[in-house]
Chains A and B, each alone.
Chain A
Amino acid sequence: MNYFDLIVLFGTLIFIVVYGVWRTRGQQNIDGYFLGDKSMSWGTIGLSVMATQASAITFISTPGQGYESGMGFVQNYLGLPIALIIVSAVFIPIFYRLKVYTAYEYLESRFDLKTRMLGALLFLVQRGLAAGITIYAPAIILSSILDWNLTATILVTGTLVIIYTVSGGTRAVSITQKHQMAVIMGGMFVAFFILISYITDYVSFGSAVSIAGKLEKLNAVDLDFNFEKRYTIWSGLAGGLFLALSYFGTDQSQVQRYLGGRNVTESRMGLMFNAILKIPMQFFILFLGVMVYVFYLFYTPPVHFKEVSVQRLNDSEYSTEYQDLERAYEGLMSERKALALDFSIAPEGQSEAIAQNLQKIDNESVEVRQQVKDLLVKMDPEIETKDSDYVFLTFILTFLPHGLIGLLIAVIFSAAMSSTSSELNALSSTTTIDFYKRLINKDDRYHLLISKGLTLVWGIVAISFAVLAKNSENLLEAVNIVGSIFYGTILGIFLTAFFIKYVKGSSVFWAAIIAQSSVIVFHFLTIYGVFTLGYLWYNAIGCFLTIGLGVVFQIFQRKG
């Protein structure tokens, strides 16, 4: 990165922050602070919902997922449109009718105070943890790859978010998210077109896609009924539905986005905007990752993308072994490049044989990459060997022109800030409305002051967590796993509230406590290898246990 990149990066970020603060100055009450004066249109809501979900991890890890495993991850989002329809048809009218600030307020009117507190508490725990990861994830990668100080990177991201979120509340979050989405999508499209222009120096776009297909990178739909597989159409539709239903229906960081709508119609249309565009957007980002893979068929990739680890290996007693592997890898890469070029010009009859050879060499190169990872573990058993999060950024920093590098780094920061601001805003509203205001009721101006103070406090908590966080195997999955552990139970409480009128407060409360404990036990059993269960199923288990046990407890209570 040079000065021009830094000017583009900080110019973009500072403009967004200053504009957000300026446009939302002079908030007078918590209605304005938490619901944006109920004035938002569907476009603002739609972009805000999308920007909240799409964190920096989405734009760092997802292309990495595409590079490593192909398009299969897109199935994770297949349940999302159905979930948004349910939220739109069932949840929104109830939230509007009750004029709530948070989703958990509804639980008190339907059940009792302790169930509301439980719902709010589960949200605060999981979202508080996730907010830390949202800041930490891009910071660890950017600091490693750009040689920046990790703590300073975390502090800059966190402070910028705190400034406008404390100052302008929900409206500032939504207004800045519109600009952040523009920067994000603009940056990603530019990166994609430059990538394609590099690839087409060697082969046509059609051949590039065809090669990706032969290397099994384009399997977007897996119909296998194996429950141990993480991404199949079934886990995507069922598990993805529960994850999305919990996220959009019961997670305050999303609920708050659409509660600020001018009316029910604007909120619903904002959600339908996401129901239609989310899967194509994820498809595009994964496809970008696959195209980075094709790009590296013609421009030799590093054998391991995390340069810091490679440097350590070079300085260690394993350097000779590593250099042998590197040489072997480079040999395979030249062979792979020649085969890819042959494939693109081969007549129909011969292309299949070349494709098989290409596949064989590609598999061998994957094995060499694995051997380097094994060597890293030999050097340091604690080391993080997963390097897919570094793939896209390595491409950006190595092959994009200056100025665009700054813009793409601004994309990562914008995405981190857009998610974090929604999270801080929601953590503050839940703490203020469900705990502080509920237990210590004072006047509106006082609550506004408390809300701003709590936004600041949650910002500091998230930054502290990010500074103290340890490296995680895969950041995108870490966030989804933390979410899946808690979401099922919260969703079970809400679904019982909406659809099973028979069940009352105490039954659902104790059912939720048992369900949550069981999901945590399942997670640890999976970690320790007692059995294997894809994490998307945690949502379904937590949800059904809460509903089922709630019904059983209610039957016993009636009989008792």
Chain B
Amino acid sequence: MEEPENDRDLATPPYFKNWSTIYWLVIGNLVLIIFLLYLFSISFR
């Protein structure tokens, strides 16, 4: 984790190397949700 210049500048998240990993996880989560919603829609037609 990179050293913050002061408390408010801390830019890297805990447990992950960088923010882009988290953003990709969130996008993956969105794709999964859309897929599940689609499955949900067609399963009960």
Are the C-beta atoms of B40 and A220 separated by less than 8 Å?
yes
Is the beta-carbon distance between B40 and A88 smaller than 8 angstroms?
no
| CB atoms of A279 and B33 under 8 A apart | yes
Decide if A209 is an interface residue (CB 8 Å cutoff): yes
Report chain B residues within 8 Å CB of A269: 13
Q: How many residues of B contact A (CB 8 A)?
A: 25
* Chain B CB within 8 A of A402 CB: no
Is A227 engaged at the interface, CB distance under 8 Å to the other chain?
A: no
Minimal beta-carbon separation of A31 from chain B (angstroms) = 12
| A216 vs B45: C-alpha distance when bound (angstroms) | 7
Q: Is the interface of A mostly helix, strand, loop or mixed?
A: helix
Are the C-beta atoms of A264 and B27 separated by less than 8 Å?
A: no
Asked if A221 contacts B34 (CB within 8 A), the reply is: yes
Chain B residues with a Cβ under 8 A of chain A: 4, 7-14, 19, 22-23, 26-27, 29-30, 33-34, 37-38, 40-41, 43-45
CA A188 to CA B43, docked complex, whole Å: 26
Q: How far is the CB of A65 from chain B (nearest CB, A)?
A: 16
The answer on a CB contact under 8 Å between A89 and B19 is: yes
Contacting residue for B44 out of A214, A263, A276, CB 8 A: A214
Interface contact B44-A38, CB-CB below 8 Å: no
Verify B11–A213 contact, CB threshold 8 A: no
Output the nearest chain B residue to A271 by Cβ-Cβ distance.
B26
Contact at A265–B23, with CB atoms within 8 Å?
Answer: no
| Chain B residues in 8 Å Cβ range of A74 | 37
Q: In chain A, what residue has the closest Cβ to B29?
A: A276
Shortest distance from the beta carbon of A35 to any chain B beta carbon, whole Å:
10
Chain A 197-242 residues near chain B, CB threshold 8 A: 209-210, 212-214, 216, 218-221, 233
Known: A93-B11, A264-B11. A221 touches B38 (CB 8 A): yes
Cβ distance A474 to chain B, nearest Cβ, rounded Å: 23
Whether the Cβ atoms of A268 and B13 lie closer than 8 Å is: yes
Q: How far is the CB of B10 from chain A (nearest CB, A)?
A: 4
At the interface, yes or no: A272 with Cβ under 8 Å from chain B?
yes
Of B8, B14, B37, B43, which contacts A213 at CB under 8 A?
Answer: B43
Inter-chain contacts of A212 with B (CB < 8 A): 44
Q: Tell which of A78-86, A318-326, A449-457, A464-472 binds the partner.
A: A78-86
Is B30 within 8 A of A82, CB to CB?
A: yes
Q: How far is the CA of A89 from the CA of B8 in the complex (A)?
A: 15
Q: Is A262 an interface residue (CB 8 A)?
A: yes
The residue that A85 contacts in the complex, of B4, B8, B26, B40, with Cβ under 8 A, is B26
In the complex the two chains form, is A265's CB within 8 Å of B26's CB? Answer: no
- By secondary structure, the B interface counts as helix
Most A C-beta atoms less than 10 A away, residue of B4, B12, B38, B40: B40
Question: Bound state CA distance, A233 and B29, in angstroms?
Answer: 16
Whether the pair B23, A88 counts as a contact (CB closer than 8 A) is yes
Are the C-beta atoms of A272 and B22 separated by less than 8 Å?
A: yes
For residue A255, CB closer than 8 A to chain B, the reply is no
In the assembled complex, the Cα of A81 lies from the Cα of B26 at a distance in Å of 7
The contact of A262 among B8, B14, B29, by CB within 8 Å, is: B8
Query: Whole-angstrom distance between the alpha carbons of A96 and B6 in the complex?
Result: 12
A265 and B10 within 8 A (CB): yes
Residues of A within 8 Å of B38, CB to CB, are 220-221
Contact with B along A264-293 (1 / 0, CB 8 A): 110011001001100110010000000000
List chain B residues, Cβ under 8 A from A279.
30, 33
A residues within 8 A CB of B14? Answer: 265
Query: Residue among B19, B37, B45 with the most chain A CB within 10 A?
Result: B37
Contact A268 B33 (CB under 8 A): no
**Contact call B8/A219, Cβ cutoff below 8 A:** no
Q: Is the pair A210, B8 in contact by a Cβ cutoff of 8 Å?
A: no
24 residue pairs from A and B, CB less than 8 Å apart: A74-B37, A78-B33, A81-B29, A84-B26, A85-B27, A213-B45, A214-B45, A219-B41, A220-B38, A220-B40, A220-B41, A221-B34, A221-B37, A221-B38, A263-B4, A264-B11, A265-B10, A265-B12, A272-B22, A272-B26, A275-B26, A276-B26, A280-B33, A283-B37
- Give chain A interface residues in 157-214, CB to chain B under 8 Å: 209-210, 212-214
- With contacts A96-B9, A265-B13 taken as known, whether A218 is within 8 angstroms of B44 at the C-beta atoms is yes
Name which residue of chain A comes closest to B1, CB basis.
Answer: A265
Give the chain A neighbours of B22 by CB distance below 8 A. 272
* Closest chain B CB from A355 CB (angstroms): 10
B23 x A85 contact (CB < 8 A): yes
In order of increasing CB-CB distance, the 6 nearest A-B pairs are A213-B44, A263-B10, A220-B37, A221-B38, A81-B30, A218-B44
